[in-house]
């Protein structure tokens, strides 16, 4: 099963560019980490712990009307490429599918809700990771969706909960609420005006943290940043969510100011950068993923500043996902070497830009 037809919107609704500030904020994710009593978790979980947790989850799944309407995918039933596609769509993590094809961890699965962009990873670092991934800036909404599924699961499953420390997690940095809310932002204005260092430093001072495109430890590519809460213990979920929302809105204001500075003080250079990026995407014959991300950053900025009329944010979001290796391989139906990948990637970009990315040039 490689087409994911049973998952709502194929798990891609977060690309639709529909939420607030969707040109700057690509998506919002809220996740809760939960563990079950009586079983080891994380690296200490043995195969029988993992199987028991999955069996427990499946029992709830079979009893609950709302869960049953959704889709449960066990990683062992998917081919390696299908698993990588889920990873590239940001629906599972590399912990869930293993670092290489050979080391798929036992008992890993993901459940997708039938309605909301809401899912549960089973046997990740924690027994359960309940998460929602929405388009644009919608932290509160994302939290509410997650909260209500967590309530339902909590009535059926014996969560590991400590009267003082709260929800117990594999990593002590998640304990308490187990909540991590993160917002995926595009901040080229702050990078180009060299204000980004100050902003990122400011984030760490107010209890937030930032990461690159693919979460913990990953590089910042294409001026994309994931901003999230650093601490999980000692504040209510609502306070964590409100605080992140407030600070992210401030960062958006700074980013918009930086963009105005660019237009005022360096309009020529900025326009040139944007059009060069568009030109390269439109005509290049080979693109590495990193180069593509950097060019998309320029084009996204141009779209946001209304310098590239006719382009849509959705088109750019889609390009980010469908140009990753497993998606390219899926499209051609075979494994690809890195050179082949780069040329298929460039071909996909040219095709999509000529069909839905024509820009009116009125120089």
Best CA proximity match to 311, nearest among 321, 324, 298, 327: 298
The first and second tokens of residue 334, run together, are 């075979």
The two beta strands, 128-135 and 161-162, are unpaired
Q: What are phi and psi of 348, to 5 degrees?
A: -60, -45
Six token digits for residue 347: 């071909």
- 47 part of the interface to other proteins, by CB under 8 A: no
Q: In sequence order, which ranges of the chain are alpha helices (DSSP H)? A: 47-63, 65-68, 80-88, 94-97, 139-156, 188-192, 196-205, 237-265, 267-283, 289-304, 313-322, 325-332, 338-356
Residue 246: CB partners within 8 Å, gap ≥ 6?
Answer: none
CB of 59 to other proteins, least distance (A): 14
User: Any contact of residue 234 with other proteins (CB under 8 A)?
Assistant: yes
**How far is it, in rounded angstroms, from Cα 144 to Cα 131?**
11
Question: Measured from the CB atom, is 53 or 258 closer to other proteins?
Answer: 53
**114 touches 70 (CB < 8 A):** yes
Region 172-201 residues binding other proteins, contact defined as CB under 8 A: 172-173, 175-177, 179
Indicate whether 99 belongs to the interface with other proteins (CB under 8 A). Answer: no
Q: Find the shortest distance in angstroms from Cβ 233 to other proteins.
A: 4
**Is there a contact between 5 and 85 (Cβ–Cβ < 8 Å)?**
no
> Could you say whether residue 310 binds other proteins (CB under 8 A)?
no
State yes or no: residue 246 binds other proteins (CB under 8 A).
Answer: no
- Of 65 and 339, nearer to other proteins (C-beta) is 65
Work out how close the CB of 231 gets to other proteins at its nearest, in angstroms, rounded to a whole number: 4
Region from 62-70, 191-199, 232-240, 344-352 binding other proteins, contact rule CB under 8 A: 232-240
278 binds other proteins (CB under 8 A): no
- Closest approach, Cβ 362 to other proteins, in A, equals 45
Query: Interacting stretch for other proteins, rule CB under 8 A, among 61-69, 93-101, 115-123, 143-151?
Result: 143-151
Question: Is there binding between residue 354 and other proteins (CB under 8 A)?
Answer: no
Interactions with other proteins, residue window 5-44 (CB under 8 A): 35, 37, 39-44
Nearer to other proteins, 236 or 361 (CB): 236
Instruction: Classify residue 299 by burial, with Cβ atoms within 10 Å: 0-12, 13-18, 19+.
Output: buried
Kindly tell me which residue out of 2, 66, 236, 361 binds other proteins, with binding defined by CB under 8 A. Answer: 236
Return the bridge partners of 211, or none. Answer: 226
Please count the residues of this chain forming the interface with other proteins, following the rule CB under 8 A. 44
Chain contacts with other proteins (rule: CB under 8 A): 35, 37, 39-45, 125, 144, 147-148, 150-151, 154, 158-162, 164-173, 175-177, 179, 231-238, 240
């Amino acid at each position: 099963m490689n087409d994911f037809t049973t998952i709502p919107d194929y798990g891609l609704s977060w690309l639709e560019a529909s939420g607030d500030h969707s040109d700057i904020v690509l998506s919002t994710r809220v996740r809760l980490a939960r563990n079950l009593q009586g079983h080891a978790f994380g690296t200490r979980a043995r195969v029988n712990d993992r199987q028991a947790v999955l069996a427990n989850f499946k029992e709830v799944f079979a009893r609950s009307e709302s869960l049953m309407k959704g889709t449960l995918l066990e990683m062992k039933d998917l081919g390696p490429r299908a698993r990588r596609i889920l990873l590239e769509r940001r629906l599972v993590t590399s912990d869930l599918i293993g670092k290489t094809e050979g080391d798929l961890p036992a008992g890993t699965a993901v459940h997708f809700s039938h309605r909301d962009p809401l899912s549960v990873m089973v046997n990740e670092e924690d027994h359960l990771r309940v998460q929602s991934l929405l388009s644009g800036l919608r932290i509160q909404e994302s939290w509410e969706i997650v909260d209500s599924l967590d309530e339902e699961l909590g009535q059926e499953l014996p969560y590991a909960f400590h009267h003082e420390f709260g929800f117990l997690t594999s990593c002590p940095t998640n304990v308490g609420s187990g909540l991590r809310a993160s917002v995926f932002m595009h901040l080229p204005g702050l990078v180009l005006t060299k204000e980004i260092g100050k902003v990122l430093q400011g984030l760490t001072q107010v209890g937030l943290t930032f990461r690159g495109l693919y979460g913990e430890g990953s590089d910042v590519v294409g001026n994309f940043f994931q901003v999230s809460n650093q601490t999980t213990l000692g504040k209510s979920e609502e306070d964590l969510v409100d605080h992140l929302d407030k600070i992210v809105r401030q960062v958006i204001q700074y980013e918009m100011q930086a963009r105005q500075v660019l237009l005022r003080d360096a309009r020529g250079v900025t326009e040139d950068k944007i059009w060069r990026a568009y030109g390269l995407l439109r005509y290049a014959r080979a693109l590495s993923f990193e180069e593509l991300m950097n060019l998309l950053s320029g084009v996204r900025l141009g779209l946001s500043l209304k310098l590239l009329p006719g382009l849509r944010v959705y088109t750019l979001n889609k390009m980010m996902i469908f140009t990753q290796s497993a998606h390219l391989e899926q499209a051609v139906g075979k494994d690809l070497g890195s050179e082949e990948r780069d040329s298929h990637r460039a071909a996909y970009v040219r095709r999509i830009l000529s069909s839905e990315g024509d820009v009116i040039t009125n120089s």
